[in-house]
Amino acid sequence: MAILLTDAMLATMTDGYGLIKDGVVAMDDRLLWAGPAAELPAHYADLPRHSTQGRLVTPALIDCHSHIVFGGHRAAEFEMRLNGASYEDVARAGGGILSTVTATRAASEADLLVQALARADQIIAGGAATIEIKSGYGLTIEDELKMLRVARAVGRARPVHVVTTHLAAHAIPPEYKGRADAYIDAVVLPSLRAAHAEGLVDAVDAFCEGIAFSPAQVERIFLEAQSLGMPVKLHAEQLSDLKGAILAARFNALSADHLEYLGPDGVAAMAKAGSVAVILPGAFYTLRETQMPPIAALRAADVAMALATDCNPGSSPITSLTLTMNMACTLFRMTPLEALQGTTTHAARALGLDDRGQIAPGLRADLAIWDATHPAELSYRIGATPLHARIFGGHLDA
Ligand code: DI6
Ligand code: FE
Q: Over the stretch 216-254, which tens digit does the pLDDT of each residue have?
A: 999 999 999 999 999 999 999 999 999 999 999 999 999
pLDDT tens string 317-343: 999 999 999 999 999 999 999 999 999
Segment 273-287 shows an average pLDDT of 97
Q: How far, in Å, is the centroid of ligand 1 from the Cα of 69?
A: 13
Q: Does residue 93 carry a pLDDT above 80? A: no
Residue ranges lining ligand 1, Cβ < 6 Å? 96-97, 100, 170, 207, 235, 238, 283, 310, 312-315
pLDDT of residue 121: 98
Question: Ligand 1 centre and the CA of 244: distance in Å?
Answer: 16
Taking the CA of residue 115 as centre, how many other CA atoms within 13 Å lie in the half-sphere pointing to its CB? 20
Q: What is the reported pLDDT for 336? A: 98
pLDDT of residue 80: 85
Whether residue 302 has pLDDT greater than 80: yes
pLDDT computed for residue 90 by the predictor: 84
- Would you say the pTM of this structure is higher than 0.75? yes
Residue 78's pLDDT is what?
86
Element (H, E) at 291: none
CA of 163 to the centre of ligand 2 (A): 14
**Confidence at 179, pLDDT banded by 50, 70, 90:** very high
In the predicted structure, residue 95 carries a pLDDT above the cut 80: no
pLDDT category, 92, cuts 50, 70, 90?
confident
Nearby residues of 22 by Cβ (< 8 Å), 6 or more positions away: 7, 8, 36, 37, 38
Pairwise pLDDT comparison (89 vs 236), residue with the higher score: 236
- Rounded CA separation 340/325 (Å): 7
Confidence class for position 88, pLDDT limits 50, 70, 90: confident
Confidence at 377, pLDDT banded by 50, 70, 90: very high
Q: Please tell me the predicted confidence (pLDDT) of residue 86.
A: 87
Model confidence band, residue 178 (pLDDT cutoffs 50, 70, 90): very high
- Does the pLDDT of residue 70 top 80, yes or no? yes
Would you state the pLDDT for residue 197? 98
The reported pLDDT for the residue numbered 81 is: 83
Q: Whose alpha carbon is nearest atom 6 of ligand 1?
A: 207
Distance from Cα 392 to the centre of ligand 2, integer Å: 26
Specify the amino acid at residue 311: C
| For the chain, the helix, strand and coil percentages under 3-state DSSP, each to the nearest 5 | 40, 20, 40
Kind of pairing between the strands at 395-396 and 387-392: antiparallel
* Percent residues over pLDDT 70 in the chain: 100
Instruction: Write the residue with the smallest CA distance to atom 10 of ligand 1.
Output: 314
Nearest CA to ligand 1 atom 3: 315
Burial 315-352 (b: 16+ CB within 10 A, else e): bbbbbbbbbbbbbbbebbebebbbbbbbbbbbbbbbbe
Q: Residue 70 CA: which ligand 1 atom is closest?
A: 12
Question: CA-CA distances (angstroms) from residue 295 to 259, 354, 374?
Answer: 10, 24, 24
pLDDT mean across residues, the chain: 97
pLDDT for the residue 250: 98
Atom of ligand 1 nearest to the CA of 287: 3
94 pLDDT above the threshold of 80: no
